Structure 1
Amino acid sequence: MALMLREMATSYGRSPGGYLWAVLEPAAGIALLSLVFTAMFNTPPLGISFPMFYATGMLPFIMFSDVQGKVASSLLYSKQLLAYPTVTYLDAILARFLLNIMTQILVAYLIFSFCIMAFETRVTLDLVVIIQAFSLAALLGLGIGTLNAYMFIRFPIAQRAWSILMRPMFLVSCIFMLFETLPHPYKDWLWYNPLVHVIGLMRRGFYGTYDATYASPLFVIAVSLVCMAAGLLLLRRQYQDLLTR
């Protein structure tokens, strides 16, 4: 709790607006995408509301990206506090993970609620599937973030390499289109992107006519747990050495 309060004060308490920016940034992105694609197409690939369609793609992606990034930098962020024996790397990781999933859930709730109230969306909510999609996005962010928490300290160049790798992920995670509309062989390649499965499940939770049969929660869970196990094992073995870097 102390680490979470410190994170809240430093990440959101120093800038004007604080938590307001956490809502405005994705909202502005969704609004911009909606304006651009409304001028190009009559209807979105799914449903009748451009803002809702892009919100169902962007918000799980942002949850993964934010959680992964904050968890990956948790040891660097709390490096001085980790010198105290009562503070462990698990404390640093869990504090950032819990705070940021709560933040992103709040952001998603506000944006989805606004879209439903402000636009004609005709969505049918399946809360079980929606919660499952958000849970998988958070778990994937935790798993990859834990592995990167080790990699970023052990190999400083890994942080830049990961930043370069993440740039096209926004385009290849099916935020702008439906997976079924992709041609072969690109469809077969993108199936191995876990975010495609998460976003497919999210859209299934909002659009009752969309089955997303390709989405495999087990695949996302497997990728998340393998990355998390590898990260925790490496941190446990080399944690003390990393603090001296």
Structure 2
Amino acid sequence: MARSADTYADSLPPPQAIGRPQDHIPRAASLRTIAALILREMSTTYGRSPGGYAWAVLEPALALAVMVAIFSTGFRSPPLGTSFAIYYASGFLPFGMFMVVSSKTQQSINYSRQLLAYPRVTFVDAIAARFILAVLTHSMVSLIIFSVILMTTETRTILDLPRLLNAFAMAAMLGLGFGMLNCVLVSRAPIWQTVWSVITRPLVLISGVLFLHDKIPSPYREWLEWNPLVHPVGEARRAFYYSYTGAYVDPVYAYGLALITGAAGILLLRSYYRDLLER
């Protein structure tokens, strides 16, 4: 009886280990890793060039100004409302969210390849860090541009903030889903980055950024609704123009496609993760 009691006592963990929050250590370590990767990304992307974050704001602002200048000379009024600036900003900035997030996410493995050799750094950490920084940066840029337009011009619009946030969320999740899928494809076949760049180049013309989707004749209008970017752009337009119905906008389709592509990307990354690091 004493022998069995001694055996049971020997099987117990040491007193200092009892009550130790070991289950929270990996999660806390992962959060610290993501924060460190975000700081690294900020220093390498924005810290080495003169102006740093200023260029992140100036680049889309100048592109938007050029679009407004060109189209205002050829048309008396935009397809919606009276302000060219807010019309193109409401389409261009959600579209830009998708482009920025997808391009940043698809380079996560290649960008952090050396750090991924450490056991504490996983591909989820690398993707999460680039995704969070891209979303925060583009959201800040969009906030500044929208604020300047609304304060300096007479837009005659009524902002529906929940719809605008939903539009940017759709664009960000689509960018994450396609970015994770492309992360595998780009790492296994670098030529895919060039192919993807060619494929996405016409998207600005067929996503409702420049031309109002409702004005496109059938059956092309219905065909273009398979393009997932039509839906966040249309949702952003509905956020500013209260009389614009945008009946074609389908958030379920946009979020569903983002979920499918993201799940496919996760499965491929789990299967080929080690092979990608050895390339």
TM-score interval, normalised by the smaller of the two chains: over 0.9
Q: CA deviation at 1:185?
A: 2.3
Q: Does 1:18 align with 2:52?
A: yes
- What residue is the counterpart of 2:117 in the other structure? 83
Task: Tell me, in whole angstroms, the C-alpha distance in 2 between the residues paired with 1:162 and 1:185.
Answer: 26
Task: Tell me, in whole angstroms, the C-alpha distance in 2 between the residues paired with 1:22 and 1:211.
Answer: 32
Task: Tell me, in whole angstroms, the C-alpha distance in 1 between the residues paired with 2:191 and 2:222.
Answer: 30
Q: Does 1:183 align with 2:217?
A: yes
Question: What is the aligned counterpart of 2:149 among 101, 115, 119?
Answer: 115
Task: Tell me, in whole angstroms, the C-alpha distance in 2 between the residues paired with 1:183 and 1:25.
Answer: 33
- What residue is the counterpart of 1:221 in the other structure? 255
RMSD: 0.7
Q: Does 1:59 align with 2:100?
A: no
- What residue is the counterpart of 1:241 in the other structure? 275
Secondary structure of residue in 1 paired with 2:217: coil
- What residue is the counterpart of 1:102 in the other structure? 136
Q: Can you give the 5+ residue segments of structure 2 that lack an aligned partner in the other structure?
A: 1-34
Q: Does 1:210 align with 2:244?
A: yes
Task: Tell me, in whole angstroms, the C-alpha distance in 2 between the residues paired with 1:114 and 1:225.
Answer: 34
Q: Which amino acid aligns with 2:193?
A: Q
Q: Which amino acid aligns with 1:100?
A: A
Task: Tell me, in whole angstroms, the C-alpha distance in 1 between the residues paired with 2:231 and 2:86.
Answer: 18
Secondary structure of residue in 2 paired with 1:13: coil
Name the TM-score, length of structure 2 as normaliser.
0.87
Secondary structure of residue in 2 paired with 1:194: coil
Question: What is the aligned counterpart of 2:180 among 142, 146, 149?
Answer: 146
Q: CA deviation at 1:202?
A: 0.4
Q: Which amino acid aligns with 1:125?
A: L
Q: Which amino acid aligns with 1:33?
A: M
- What residue is the counterpart of 2:106 in the other structure? 72
- What residue is the counterpart of 1:5 in the other structure? 39
Task: Tell me, in whole angstroms, the C-alpha distance in 2 between the residues paired with 1:185 and 1:22.
Answer: 38
Task: Tell me, in whole angstroms, the C-alpha distance in 1 between the residues paired with 2:190 and 2:132.
Answer: 26
Q: CA deviation at 1:155?
A: 1.9
% identical equivalent positions: 51
Question: What is the aligned counterpart of 2:62 among 28, 32, 46?
Answer: 28
Q: Which amino acid aligns with 2:152?
A: A
Q: Deviations over 1:199-240 (max 9, x none)?
A: 000010111111111000000011100000000001001101
Which runs of 4 or more aligned residues in structure 1 lie more than 2 Å from their structure 2 counterparts after TM superposition?
none
Secondary structure of residue in 1 paired with 2:120: coil
- What residue is the counterpart of 1:164 in the other structure? 198
